[in-house]
Amino acid sequence: MGIIEKLRLDNKKAFVTGGARGIGYSIAGALAEAGADVAIVDMDEGAAKKAAEEIAAATGRTALALRTDVTQKAEVEAMIERLLEEFGRIDAAFCNAGICMNISAVDMSLEDWNKVIAINLTGVFLTAQAAGKAMIRQGGGSIVTTASMSAHIVNVPQPQCSYNASKAAVIQLTKSLAVEWALKNVRVNSISPGYIGTDLTLSSPVLKPLIEQWNAMAPLRRLGRPEELQAIAVYLAGDTSAFTTGSDFIIDGAFTCI
């Protein structure tokens, strides 16, 4: 079997949190295109259903839509149980859901701080924990978290201390889980995207004015595209990455090199 065939995800079962749009939607589509059945896990049930229908129609794979609040342990556990009922197993889990608030440190309320940490860090832990338990029982699997280049640098000019801190914590959480579960055959890695031109970024009245400044600083002078994260996602979900765990993959067009 050649390397292209080995990269296929035929009949693997996966879920993507925050999968209804943006990076999550692009990753879910790539997994299905590579042969996996996928679940779109998102707070927006309508958007999740629409995404699942589009992915199923485009790839011929099974795509489910599951409304889940990743900050709520009971909802996460119920989501995992539902997936196991539908799919029988979970081979790949993408803990991708996240938010960002551009609020200066002196103005940030405790409520806003806690909201960012709850979704970006606690939500990643709860979904990884629940998926990890299922994978340990079945004999293995792959978990991928979405961190950010913001875990490695302080973005400017936007103030986003809570986001930066949460994403740095995601990387250390990822490494910790990778070590704990290494002998359980459960691999845990993170992807750290740079500035990606999602619909939300391109249309946001807060972020859109900053794009020109970001591009002026970037070695490639442009934003990344969601589809430019697909290859690493498919690689990490499959068996060819069997020796890859505890790693963080920075996909940022060399932005953090400067």
Residues known to be catalytic: 148, 163, 167
For residue 111 the two structure tokens come to: 């409520």
pLDDT of residue 57: 98
The one-digit pLDDT tens for each residue of the chain (258 residues) are 788 888 999 999 999 999 999 999 999 999 999 999 999 999 999 999 999 999 999 999 999 999 999 999 999 999 999 999 999 999 999 999 999 999 999 999 999 999 999 999 999 999 999 999 999 999 999 999 999 999 999 999 999 999 999 999 999 999 999 999 999 999 999 999 999 999 878 888 888 889 999 999 999 999 999 999 999 999 999 999 999 999 999 999 999 999
pLDDT of residue 195: 97
CA separation for the pair 119, 108 (Å, rounded): 16
Please say whether the beta carbons of 131 and 184 come within 8 A: no
User: First and final CA of the chain: distance in angstroms?
Assistant: 41
State the virtual CA torsion across 194, 117, 190, 27 in degrees, nearest 10. -70
pTM for the whole thing?
0.96
pLDDT of residue 245: 98
pLDDT of residue 207: 83
Residue among 126, 229, 241 at smallest CA distance from 186: 241
CA separation for the pair 64, 166 (Å, rounded): 29
- Residues 6 or more apart in contact with residue 42 via CB below 8 angstroms: 17, 18, 19, 20, 21, 24, 48, 51, 65, 66, 67, 68, 97
pLDDT of residue 236: 98
* Domains in the chain, CATH or no CATH each: 3-252 (3.40.50.720)
Residue among 9, 28, 157, 16 at smallest CA distance from 83: 16
pLDDT of residue 159: 95
For residue 105 the two structure tokens come to: 């440190």
Q: What is each CA distance from 117 to 122, 124, 157, in whole angstroms?
A: 6, 10, 21
Please say whether the beta carbons of 32 and 38 come within 8 A: yes
Please say whether the beta carbons of 19 and 42 come within 8 A: yes
